Amino acid sequence: MADKITVALAGNPNSGKTTVFNAMTGARHHVGNYPGVTVEKKEGRYRHGELEVLVTDLPGIYSMTADSVDEIAARNHLVDGHPDILVDIIDCSNLERNLYLATQLLELGIPLLLAFNMSDVAQGRGIDLDLDRLSERLGTPIVRTVGHKGKGIEELKEAIARVALGKSSPRGSTVDYGSPIEREIEKLERLIALRNGDLSKFEQRWLAVKLLESDEDIAAKVTDRDIISQAESSSARLAEFYGDDLEVVMADRRYAFISGICRESVRVPASAEDTSSDRIDSWLTHRWFGLPIFLLLMYMVFHLTFTLGNPLSALIENGFGWLGATITAWWPPDAVSPLQSLLVDGIIGGVGSVIVFLPNILLLFLAIAVLEDTGYMARAAFMMDRMMYKVGLHGKSFIPMLIGFGCNVPAIMATRTLDRRRDRLITMLIIPLMSCSARLTIYALIIPAFFPQVLQAPMLWMMYIIGIILAIAAANLLRVTVFKGETSSFMMELPPYRMPSPTGVFAHMWERAWLYVRKAGTIILGVTVVLWAMTSFPKKVTYDRDYESPAVLEQLTQAEVTEAKRAEDLSYSVAGRMGRFMEPALRPMGFDWRIGTALVGAFAAKEVFVAQMGIVYSVGQADESSEALRAQLKSNYSPLVAFCILLFVLIGTPCMATVAITRRESNSWKWALFQFTSLTVLAYFLTVLVYQLGKLVGIGV
């Protein structure tokens, strides 16, 4: 083999594959896409002596059966990607099921190495593994690893190098399916060998086995009628012979092969039964206590992320505010300098709006890493699945949705805990309907201005409920339209509870935060600068009113002049013009150009809506409790329009940070744009409907 080799890491979900991958490749990752699908392809490189190794971390799979897009991507990489060497990460505290995949990988004809991961857990439970014997029987080198502690990684690299340099060539034992089946396999292999050509990329035995098992996806790749009809008749004959479906018989043979090997080389003491996990679960997933404990934990996660994170975010905002003020002071007080504005409002503001999310993201992922690494996340999915499944989602969707009420950005990042692409994308797409805390500032401004005290709380509550109802409807709609045909399966392992390692938890947290800053951060920064330019340019040279004239100066204070100028500036800027330009389209919702302009600004962050309304109405630095702004709004809009603003802000135009993070997490602009457009269109139609009906019936006009 050449100096450059490719290695693919395969393994069951929960086998610690990614920790091994991280330990092997360090920080040098590249995250891309599998061709044509939004499934993340994680690649990393390392050097070992003269060898340049490219490692691909495949999506976790239980077998070579592929139903979901992720599994298909993993299988295609194994079959069509031609990795030079395959490493199967085995959770050796759960050997039988993990080896099931290994028996199928062995058939691929690619040199296979086994990494017996989590060997510390197995050892701790007194499981005695005779690795020499296992290695001998399976015909593959075996390396003991503890991924999160980085143990055994050098040995694994060394073993890979030995295979790559031809110093060892694992022969790889394959399952003996018994002579009746083996005879048919041989027949098929001969046929396949004859029709070389397009089938030569497949390992003959593997193809024969898959065809006998009537794997539809693989059969679809074979165009040769003879081979297909041979496979069908062999399969039917054997099924009759065994009196059962062939796939049952073959799965059974594989497990028998594994059991045989394990009987010889694995000693599991009677005490290895992990009773402590069972004892913990008898409380944490208890019929009555399970859900309250879960809700309490979720409250703590939410509290940690936002109650603890938001003061830190405020600190960061103040820090950037101070920095902006310092830089502003470089210029004389009355200077109108585009450079100053670019530096302070564009760049510092932009970097600030990226960094401001970091406390929430770090704290949330601290919590999620602990929940995942302890194994509680699987319990949460177990308890929430019934409810979430009913609304078209997965048990694991609950936590991201909940986080969405705080902020959609970390919530979308949290969808990473969902294993299947379909569940993940659906959750990601509907999260913006969870009314985030930035939208709360808009509700807080508008609701008290327009609605009597008794209606205020129900109004606020209604916004949240409308969001949830629409999210459920959207999830179900997506499930039967965009993601039609993709099956959903809940089946998953409930791993034993584990003590999380601080290094693992912090690594996880940093990785997420860094990815956010690097990938989403650049988009957020860019959009902030563009939005700054849109609200600042073109500059108005002569104002409508002559603010220098004695008549005006007598009427207005200096501050009022500044505010009036700012209002004129904004209305003259690109954003203002967009607001005016869009006005005919906004009219059916009851909106004027001012609301339109503020909505353009609110794309930066929803709460900016409040400040922008403050500028267009010249009421100075407005926040959500500004009575001056409330008075202005009240004299210009009806309660019906106010409600329409709330509705539109709730549903439509997710903020640019949400768009950026969806782009990042789905790995494609397609989904980010789909999310943005469909939510905005939905918001538009619903708001028009409400406004027109309201006007017709005469409510709140």
Partner 1 sequence: MTVALVDIKPGGRGRILEVGGGSRARRRMFDMGVTPGVIVEVKRVAPLGDPIEVKVRGYNLLVRKSEASGITVEVE
d(CA 621, CA 322): 16
Q: How far is the CB of 654 from partner 1 (least distance, A)?
A: 31
Q: How far is the CB of 199 from partner 1 (least distance, A)?
A: 23
From candidates 232, 247, 317, 560, binder to partner 1 by CB under 8 A: 247
**Smaller CB separation from partner 1, 251 or 517:** 251
Considering only residues 219 to 238 of the shown chain, the ones binding partner 1 according to CB under 8 A are none
From candidates 494, 530, 556, 689, binder to partner 1 by CB under 8 A: 494
**Smaller CB separation from partner 1, 291 or 482:** 291
**Smaller CB separation from partner 1, 3 or 240:** 240
Considering only residues 93 to 112 of the shown chain, the ones binding partner 1 according to CB under 8 A are 94-97, 100
**Smaller CB separation from partner 1, 48 or 97:** 97
Q: How far is the CB of 295 from partner 1 (least distance, A)?
A: 11
Write the single-letter amino acid at 174.
Answer: T
**Given the DSSP bridges, would you call strands 128-129 and 266-267 parallel, antiparallel or unpaired?**
antiparallel
d(CA 155, CA 113): 12
Q: How far is the CB of 54 from partner 1 (least distance, A)?
A: 28
Query: Which residues fall within 8 angstroms of residue 236, CB to CB, at 6 or more apart?
Result: none
Q: How far is the CB of 287 from partner 1 (least distance, A)?
A: 5
**Smaller CB separation from partner 1, 67 or 132:** 67
Question: Looking at 527-606, which runs of residues are DSSP E strands?
Answer: none
Considering only residues 9 to 68 of the shown chain, the ones binding partner 1 according to CB under 8 A are 62-63, 65, 67
CA dihedral sign, ordered 132, 134, 136, 140? negative
d(CA 196, CA 217): 20
d(CA 670, CA 135): 46
From candidates 167, 183, 201, 386, binder to partner 1 by CB under 8 A: 386
Question: And the tokens for 492?
Answer: 């998953």
By the rule CB under 8 A, 255 interacts with partner 1: yes
**Smaller CB separation from partner 1, 17 or 606:** 17
By the rule CB under 8 A, 484 interacts with partner 1: no
Q: Strand, helix or coil at 467? A: helix
Closest Cα to residue 465, out of 684, 646, 659? 646
Q: Which of these segments, 354-362, 381-389, 584-592, 660-668, binds partner 1 (CB under 8 A)?
A: 381-389
**Smaller CB separation from partner 1, 277 or 562:** 277
Q: Strand, helix or coil at 54? A: strand
**Smaller CB separation from partner 1, 109 or 496:** 496
Q: How far is the CB of 492 from partner 1 (least distance, A)?
A: 5
Backbone angles phi, psi at 88, to 5 degrees: -105, 120
Closest Cα to residue 42, out of 59, 20, 62? 59
**Smaller CB separation from partner 1, 155 or 245:** 245
Q: Which of these segments, 136-144, 219-227, 281-289, 685-693, binds partner 1 (CB under 8 A)?
A: 281-289
By the rule CB under 8 A, 252 interacts with partner 1: yes
The pattern of x and - marking residues 360 through 379 that bind partner 1 according to CB under 8 A reads ------------------x-
Q: How far is the CB of 77 from partner 1 (least distance, A)?
A: 18
CA dihedral sign, ordered 159, 161, 165, 171? positive
According to the 3-state scheme, what is the secondary structure of 65-109? CCCCHHHHHHHHHHHHCCCCEEEEEEECCCHHHHHHHHHHHHCCC
**Smaller CB separation from partner 1, 291 or 342:** 291
Q: Which of these segments, 28-36, 180-188, 276-284, 407-415, binds partner 1 (CB under 8 A)?
A: 276-284
Considering only residues 284 to 313 of the shown chain, the ones binding partner 1 according to CB under 8 A are 285-288, 290-291
Q: How far is the CB of 73 from partner 1 (least distance, A)?
A: 17
User: Counting Cβ atoms within 10 Å, is residue 332 exposed (0-12), middle (13-18) or buried (19+)?
Assistant: exposed
d(CA 35, CA 44): 18
By the rule CB under 8 A, 123 interacts with partner 1: no
Query: Which residues fall within 8 angstroms of residue 623, CB to CB, at 6 or more apart?
Result: 441, 445, 610, 611, 614
**Smaller CB separation from partner 1, 394 or 512:** 394
Given strand 112-117, what is the order of strands in its sheet? 29-33, 40-48, 51-57, 4-11, 85-91, 112-117, 142-144
Angle between helices 153-164 and 17-25 in degrees, nearest 10 = 80
If one counts every other C-beta atom within 10 angstroms of the C-beta of residue 583, the result is 16
From candidates 296, 308, 336, 387, binder to partner 1 by CB under 8 A: 387
Closest Cα to residue 87, out of 6, 23, 203? 6
Q: How far is the CB of 65 from partner 1 (least distance, A)?
A: 5
Closest Cα to residue 223, out of 211, 234, 205, 236? 211
**Smaller CB separation from partner 1, 258 or 595:** 258
d(CA 380, CA 388): 11
By the rule CB under 8 A, 268 interacts with partner 1: yes
From candidates 366, 383, 527, 613, binder to partner 1 by CB under 8 A: 383
Q: Which of these segments, 78-86, 131-139, 493-501, 605-613, binds partner 1 (CB under 8 A)?
A: 493-501
By the rule CB under 8 A, 530 interacts with partner 1: no
**Smaller CB separation from partner 1, 245 or 560:** 245
Q: Strand, helix or coil at 484? A: coil
**Smaller CB separation from partner 1, 382 or 451:** 382
From candidates 168, 489, 555, 677, binder to partner 1 by CB under 8 A: 489
Tell me the DSSP string of 16-53: -HHHHHHHHHTT-EEEEE-TTS--EEEEEEEEETTEEE
Binding-residue total with partner 1 (CB under 8 A): 46
Considering only residues 161 to 220 of the shown chain, the ones binding partner 1 according to CB under 8 A are 213-214
Q: How far is the CB of 63 from partner 1 (least distance, A)?
A: 4
Residue 93 φ/ψ region, left for φ over 0, alpha for ψ in the -120 to 50 degree band, beta for the rest: alpha
**Smaller CB separation from partner 1, 151 or 253:** 253
Is it true that the peptide bond before 333 is cis, omega within 30 degrees of 0? no
By the rule CB under 8 A, 281 interacts with partner 1: yes
Chain centroid to CA 100:
29
Q: How far is the CB of 268 from partner 1 (least distance, A)?
A: 8
**Smaller CB separation from partner 1, 255 or 464:** 255
**Smaller CB separation from partner 1, 14 or 687:** 14
Q: How far is the CB of 272 from partner 1 (least distance, A)?
A: 9
DSSP state of 297: H
Question: And the tokens for 489?
Answer: 């399966």
Question: And the tokens for 33?
Answer: 């896409």
From candidates 278, 546, 623, 627, binder to partner 1 by CB under 8 A: 278
Tell me the DSSP string of 521-539: HHHHHHHHHHHHHHHH-SP
By the rule CB under 8 A, 519 interacts with partner 1: no
**What residue ranges bind partner 1 (CB under 8 A)?**
62-63, 65, 67, 94-97, 100, 213-214, 245, 247-248, 251-252, 255, 268, 277-278, 281-282, 285-288, 290-291, 378, 381-387, 389, 487, 489-496
